Chain A
Amino acid sequence: MSAETVDSGTGPAPRKGVSILFGLTLLGLLLFLWLLLGLATNSFWTPNNISNLLRQGAMTAILAVGQTFVIITAGIDLSVGAVVGFTSVIVAWLLAAGVPLWIAIILTLAFGVLIGAFHAFGIVRMGLPPFIITLATLTSLRGIGLLITNGSTISITNEAFTNFSRADFLGVPSLFWMVIVVAIPAYVFLHLSRFGRYLFAVGSNSEAARLSGVNVHRTIYLAYILSSTCAAFVGLLLASRIGIGNATQAEGWELQAIASSVIGGTSLFGAVGSVHGPLLGAFILATINNGANLLNVNSFWQRIITGVLIIVIVYFDQLRRRGAR
C-alpha cells in the first residue's frame, strides 16, 4: 500500500500525484458529458441552457462543500435539505415582517450557525451519533417550517432579493458566482489552514488527534456549523430563485449533496476529501439531469442513471486507491 492519495506539503491538500489525476478524470468526465450533449442536442450549448445548468448545479455544489467538511470528520449531515427549506421560510418571514434585507440575511445565516452548533452539541455533549442527531433535525425543521407557514408558502415581494438570482455578472449567473464565493475560502480553510488539517486528523483518529493537542470538540463544532451555514446560504439563494419561502422545498437535497461529495472522492469513512471534488461532483449530477431533460429522457430514468453513476465512479475510485498494491 503505497499511498499518495491525499496531499501536498505534508497535509492532505489535493495538489500532486494521484489526487490531481482523479480530479482531472472527473473534470474529463464533465467535459466529455458536455461534448456529448453538445453533439446530441442542438439546445445544450445555448447561453440560456448553460446559465440554467450553472444555476442548477450551484446550490448542490455549495451544499456538497459544507457536507464534505462533515464527512471528512467521519460524520454525516442529513439535515442540509431541511435546513435549506427551513431557512427559505425564515428569510421570507423576516422580509414579510418588514425586516431590512441585510438584517434578514444575517439573521438567516445565524440560524444556520445555531442549527450546526446544536448538531455538534448533540454529538459532543450528548454522545449521539451524527446520523441520528441530523436525522432528528431533518424531520423537526420541516415540521417547524410548516408550523410557521401554517402549511402554505410565504411570498417574497422584495424585488432586490428576487432579482439577484436571475442576474448575471460578466455573463455568468450570479448563483454560480456564489459557488466561487464559497469555494475559495473553503479551499483556503480545508487545504491551507490548520483547521483543515484538524478536520482530517479528527476523521482519521480522534483519540490520536486529542492526544496531540487538537481540540476535537471545537473541530466538530466547526464542521457542523460550516455545513449548516452553507445550507442556510443555499436557503437564501433558493428563496431568491423561487421567490417564496416554503418548508417542503429542497426535499432530498441532502442526498444530492452527499452523492456529489462521494462522487468527488470523499470517503464516508473520513479523512479523505477535497473542495474541488464535490464541486465537480455536483456539476456532473446537474449535467446529467440537464442533459436528460434536453434528450426528453423520462425523469424516472434520471434517478436510475444517477444511482448507477454513483456506483461506477466510487468503484473506480476505490480501485485507484487500492491500485498501488
Chain B
Amino acid sequence: MPGLDEVSDSKSDGLRTAARHPVPRGEPILEMRALQKKYGAVEALKPATITFLSGEIHAIVGENGAGKSTLIKLLTGVIRRTSGEVFWCGKPVQLDNPQEAIARGINAVHQEVVLCPHLSVAANMFLGDEINNAGLMRKRAMTEAAQSVLDDLGFNLPAAATLGSLTIGQQQLVATARAAMRGTQFLIFDEPTAYLTRQESAQLFRLIRRLQGEGVTIVYISHRMEEVFELADRVSVLRDGTHVGTRKIGETNDAELITLMINRTIEQIYHKEHFPAGETIVETRGLSGPGFQDVSLTVRAGEIVGLYGLIGAGRSEFALGLYGRHASTAGEVYWQGRKVNINSERKAMDLGIALAPESRRDQGLCLNLPIGLNINLPIFKRLTRGLTINRQKEIENADRQIRDLKIKTPSRRVLASAMSGGNQQKIVIGKWLSHGAKLFIFDEPTVGVDVGTKAEIYRLFARLLENGAGIILISSYLPEVYELSDRLHVFRRGRLVASHDYRAASHEEVLTQAIGV
C-alpha cells in the first residue's frame, strides 16, 4: 500500500514482503481439496473442492446453513477441518489456528465488526501491531499513518475519533482498511454491505477493486445478487453444505445461480399480494421523540407501509417510539380510532403491536439462551398456570413455531447464538407470531438473510395481511421496500419527507429524496 512504507516498523515490513505476490496472477493461490467439516454427526461442509485463483474476486453464495460460515472459519483457522486438504501456493498447509492464517496473509472482514469500540480508529487499525519506540507507543505517528491510509482509500473518516462514535457502516470500512494495511494476500468479506449505506457500499467496492488491482485475492460472500454480478470474476454456490458448482460470472445469470442455491425461480422471491385495505389500525399525528420529529402516518389492515431512508434517518427511532421504548415528546397516537398513550413496551404489546427490532444481536434475541425460551419470552404470562409454567404448552408452542417457520435446528434447546442470521430472524418472528398482534413492525427483517429465507419472510407478510394485520416495513434495501410496500414513506434526518403509493415513484426519485441532494 502506498503511504504505508514510511510508517511501518521492521516486523510488519518483513511479514508483508514474505507474503507479497506468492504466485502469479491467475494461478491457483489457495486450493481446497475434499475439505470437510463435521460437528458430531452433522456434516456442516461436505467434502468440497474449490480453487481460488490469485488476484480474482471469487463470490460465494448460498442459503442459510449452506456452509458459508463454516468455509470462512476453516480458511481463517478458527475451526479445524475433519478431513481433506488445503494447499496454499501449491504447498499443503494446516491452517488450524488464526495466527497461522494471518501470518500467511489470509484475513477476514466480518459482517459484524469485531474491534474495540472504546479505542480510537487509529488504535484499532494498529491493534496488535502498534508502532512503538523502545516499548512506548507512538500515538501521534499511528494517528497520522492511519489518517493517511484512510485518506488514501478515499474514506472520509477521522483517525483520532473513537471507533464507537462511528456508524456501523463506517466501522466496517475501518475494519476493511485494517485488513488492507496488513499485507493481506487473501481477503474474505462476509456480507460486508449488510449494514452499509449505498455510498459506503460504493466506497467499499472501490477499495475491493483496488486491492484486486494490487494482486490481492478476494473472497466475497453475499446474499445480494446484484453485488455478485457487479464485483465477482467467478462465483461458487453452496447448498446444504454441498458445493454445487462454480461459474465464471460471464457465463451465468441470476436465474441460474438462484436455481442452484434454492431450486426455486426468481419470480417466487418478491411475492406481493394485494389485499383490500381495511380499517385504520394506527394513526400518528405529528409524533415526535428522540431521533424523529413530526411524523404523521397511518397503517390500515391488509397493507404494508414501507419506511425507507439511510441508516440513522430516524425510522428505527420512530418504530421504537411508537412501541413505547422511548417516551414521545409531542404528537398523538390513535389506535383503531381511539387516542392512546403508549408509555411502555408492555402497553404496546397489550394493544397489539409487535416489533422485530433492527439488531437481532443487541435487541432481538437472548443469544445465549435456548431458541424455545426466546420464542416463548413474550407469552410466559399466558403459559403460566398458578405458580408455574405449563411445560407442555411451552414445549408445544416452541415446537410449533420451529416447525411452521422451518427454523433449521435439531431442537428447541439449541442456543439462539448457534443459528445463522436467517434462522435467528425466524426466531424473532416466531416470538411475535406466538404472541399475536394487529400491527407488526419489521425493522430490517432481511439483513444478513439469504434469498430463500427472504422469500419465506415475504410470503409470511402476505399471510399476516390476509389475517387482517397491518405491517410497517423498515428497510435500507430499496428494492425490498419498493416492491412490497402499498405505501412508501421516505425518511431523512428524523423527518418524513415524502410519501408514494405502490410503485408510484421511480427508484431514483426515492433515493434522491432519501439522500436530500
Contacts and interface: CB of A to CB of B under 8 A. Distances in A.
Interface of A: 1-12, 16-17, 188, 192-194, 197-198, 200-201, 204-205, 207-215, 271-272, 324-325
Contact of A213 (B39, B375, B378, B413): B378
Interface string B217-245: 00000000000000000000000000000
Interface residues of B, number: 47
Interface in B389-403: 389, 391, 394-395, 398
A4 B365 contact: no
Given A3-B418, A9-B395, A197 B388 contact: no
Interface string B253-271: 0000000000000000000
Interface string B364-375: 111111111101
B317 to A, nearest CB: 14
A6 B40 contact: no
Contact of B387 (A192, A207, A211): A192
B345 interface: yes
Contact of B370 (A11, A193, A209, A214): A11
Interface stretch (B99-107, B190-198, B355-363): B355-363
A12 B373 contact: yes
B382 to A, nearest CB: 9
B418 A2 contact: yes
Given A193-B388, A208-B363, A211-B363, A11 B377 contact: no
A211 B355 contact: yes
Contacts of B325: 210-211
Given A9-B391, A10-B398, A192-B387, A2 B40 contact: yes
Contacts of B376: 10-11, 197
Contacts of B412: 10
Nearest to B414: A3
Contacts of B383: 194
27 contacts: A2-B40, A2-B418, A4-B414, A6-B369, A8-B391, A10-B370, A11-B376, A11-B389, A11-B394, A192-B391, A193-B388, A193-B389, A194-B381, A197-B389, A200-B369, A201-B369, A201-B373, A204-B367, A205-B366, A208-B365, A208-B366, A211-B345, A211-B357, A212-B377, A215-B346, A324-B39, A325-B79
Contacts of B414: 2-4
B149 interface: no
A7 B365 contact: no
A193 B248 CA distance: 57
Nearest 7 A-B pairs (CB), nearest first? Answer: A10-B372, A204-B366, A194-B380, A3-B415, A192-B388, A212-B377, A10-B398
Contact of A1 (B373, B391, B417): B417
B346 A3 contact: no
Contacts of B394: 9-11
Contacts, number: 129
B431 interface: yes
Contacts of A1: 415, 417-418
Contact of B431 (A16, A194, A212): A212
Which interface residue of A9, A16, A272, A324 has the most chain B CB atoms within 10 A?
A9
Interface of B: 39-40, 79, 323, 325, 345-346, 349, 355, 357, 362-373, 375-378, 380-381, 383-384, 387-389, 391, 394-395, 398, 410-415, 417-418, 431, 435
A4 B373 contact: no
Contacts of A210: 325, 345
B349 A213 contact: yes
B366 A192 contact: no
B197 to A, nearest CB: 24
B384 A194 contact: yes
Contacts of B369: 6, 12, 200-201, 204, 271
Contacts of A208: 362-366, 377
Contacts of B375: 10
Contacts of A207: 362-363
A91 B383 CA distance: 41
A12 B380 CA distance: 13
Contact of A205 (B362, B372, B413, B435): B362
B366 A200 contact: yes
A197 B79 contact: no
B419 to A, nearest CB: 10
B39 A2 contact: yes
Nearest to A201: B366
A201 B377 contact: yes
A11 B371 CA distance: 9
A291 B191 CA distance: 58
Contact of B389 (A192, A213, A215): A192
A183 to B, nearest CB: 16
A22 to B, nearest CB: 15
A4 to B, nearest CB: 5
